[in-house]
Structures are given as structure tokens and as C-alpha cells.
Structure 1
Amino acid sequence: GNSITDYWPKTDSAFFVGSAYEYIGRGISGQVSGQMLLRLWPDVIALQPKVVVILSGVNDIAENGGPYSPEATLHNIMAMAELAQAHGIRVVLCSGLPAADFWWHKGLEPAPQIVALNQQIRAYAAQHQLVYLDYHAAMADARQGLPAALAPDGVHPNLAGYRVMEPLLQQAVAQALRRK
């Protein structure tokens, strides 16, 4: 993951301490899907978790790594999923969180691109019998952004935002663990 994953244990450490599962957060703020793919081996495969939860793509849309390529982003996410599966790790693919704008890169109008990427991730997950975790549907407001009550900066969840995400994450991990 990226900053959403990185900030989660800092924002709600009680969720990780009191959980039925041992979560290992490997989020690095600002990273794009290609950077996450490069660190999949040391951050995931080498640790041999039962499940990996992949939340990636929104920083690609924010052009943190250069111009956005929908194809390259989807291929990076697919490669992460396939590498994890090849090493016996179950996969949960997450939707990107909604965002109507990025405070660090104004004017991109990312909402339609996030929706389109999420549709592609959902289709890929269904085609490959992977768990799809739809944070977007649970958190989007009428503008297809994050409401201020869940993310004051419009991108990064606060405690209330993570509290929406937590039961969804628990359900997705449990679903992945039930799969062969």
C-alpha cells in the first residue's frame, strides 16, 4: 500500500493490536504501483503471509510517478496478484479510495479515473476468483470523493474513515482465508 496503509496503524493502532489476525503494514506514502511491485518480494513474499491485501493505483492517477497510464497501473496490480498467488499467498484486491481532487496536484479531476480503474480491478478479481474489497462504494460521497467527515484533506482517512474500512478489511481477509 501507500499512505492509506502507512497512516492506518498510526491513526488506529488499537485495530491492529486487538485484531483476530496479525496485520503487517507495508505502506509507503506516495508510492505508485510500479514501486509497490518492486518491493513485493521483500515486503510480502519473503514474509509468507497467508493473505496479502493490495491497495494501489490512486497515486498513479495522482501522477506521483509521472503521467498516468491506466494500462501500466492495472498490469502492475495484476503482476502483484499473480506473483503472490504463485507463492501460495491468497490475494485481496482493493478498490482505490474515492478522491474528487488531490491537494498536492490540483486540477486532475481524478474521480472518473478512479472509478474506471476500480471497475478494471473488480473485473480482474472476478475473472481470477480473487476477493475484491470495495472501499470506494462504502466511502464515496455524491462527488465521488471522500467526505470531510472521513478524510479532512479529501484523500487520507481519519479515525472515522478507518473505522468504515476496518470491518470491510476483516470480512475480505476472512473470505480470502476460506478460499483454496
Structure 2
Amino acid sequence: MKLFKSIHNFNYEWSLVSAANWQKYPNENCPHVQHVDVLNRFVDPETGTLTTERIITVDQKVPSLLRRILGADTTQYVHETSTIDPKTKTLSMKSKNLTLSNLLTIEETIEYTEHPEDPQQTQFTQQAAISAGSLVSRWSGIVEELSLKRFKDNAAVGREGFCKVLERFVVMAEAQHKPVSSTTDTTS
């Protein structure tokens, strides 16, 4: 098993980052994400916590020889469950690949929390556990190492893409809150 962990601070308050998260896809940095479908969404009336379950459809660039050997397609699916707790200002997301999970399992956990020292920032923590399945046990070290490298690269690209989404989201939010200026003609 290979482990990954990254912590990043966004220079935006938690409420803006957690709202922008729902606008993350599509974005030009992550064209492999084809669809995001909501399976279930509910609010706990006692806690106010929103839980959402989604399926994310991605187009992975799997080498054609490997696809033929495994009988796989480039279309793959990821199951994600997220919770937003407005009281603790925490957005937690857990995801796991559904496709080819007998060969390789990637379990990812993401948290967006209000930065402990600066409420105008949001702390982003991303973790992943990457495990090769028993079918590839002979090459598990190599498969896990290559997958970890690809995961790191994709995580950096995904974070960069989300920064662009955040910037657009801020512009839209500011435009919605600007008073409309009117010109009054006072010609007599």
C-alpha cells in the first residue's frame, strides 16, 4: 500500500470554497471528468449537515494493450460521499474507484476546513491510500508506485484547476453583490 498526503491553503474563506466545490467540474484542467451525477442528497434536521452521494464518470487514458488484456474500457466510475457541516465549517469527501477495483483500489479523503489561524483562509487536506489487488500481487510494488506518481501529478493539476474555478466563482459572487449604478439625467 502506498500513501499520499498533501495540505494546501486557499486564500478564500471556507464558505466560498465549500460553495465553489460544487462548481468544480467541468474545468479545463480536468477534461477527463465527463459527468458528475448526484445519487442521493439529504440534510440532517438535527445537525444541519448535508450529505451527498455522487458517481463521477471519468475517461482514463489506459493503454490499449492493457485495456485488451483486462477487458476494460476508458470510461471508469468513482463513488463519492461528502458531508458539509456548517457548524464546524468542514467539508469532507471520501471517494473510491469502482472500476477495476479488483486490480487497484484508490481510496481518497479530502477535507476543506476553516484555517485554524486565519478564518479568511481554507485549509485543504488530501489523502489517498493506493493498494494493488491480488490479481497483480506479483507486481504490486510497481503498480502502486506508478499509480502514486500519477495520483500526485493529477492532484496538482486538480488543485490548479480548482484555483481557476475559485477565481471565477469570486468574480461571479462579487458581480452579484455589486449595486447596480444608475445614471440620472438632470437636464432641464
State the TM-score, normalized to the length of structure 2: 0.31
Which one has the bigger strand percentage? Answer: 2
State the TM-score, normalized to the length of structure 1: 0.31
> Quick check: which has more Rg, 1 or 2?
2
Which one has the bigger helix percentage? Answer: 1
Greater length-normalized contact order (CA 8 Å, ≥ 6 residues apart):
2
